[in-house]
Amino acid sequence: MSAYQIRIIDNGHTRLLMDVARPDDGAALRAGVKFAAGRHFEIWRGLDCIYGSLSAARERLSRSA
């Protein structure tokens, strides 16, 4: 199990933090979708943003390099 933090974002601010343990990134993403209930959210594994605006920005930068 890995430790993840799910952050629910509203108007650019974190409104809710949840610490969860899940077996992998996919399970953490499914938990984030469920908890966010249509709101914007990010998923962090330690200092790495694995889903959300920061991870999307990193992916765009890696494709343009």
pLDDT at 7: 95
List the chain pLDDT tens, one digit each, 65 residues. Answer: 999 999 999 888 889 999 999 999 999 999 999 999 989 999 999 999 999 866 655 565 566 65
Q: Is this structure's pTM higher than 0.95?
A: no
User: Which two tokens mark 13?
Assistant: 């601010």
pLDDT at 54: 60
**Per-state percent for the chain, helix, strand, coil, to nearest 5:** 35, 45, 20
pLDDT at 52: 87
Cβ partners under 8 Å of residue 44, min gap 6: 4, 5, 6, 7, 50
Helix, strand, or coil (residue 19): strand
Question: Among 11, 7, 55, which Cα is nearest to 31's?
Answer: 7
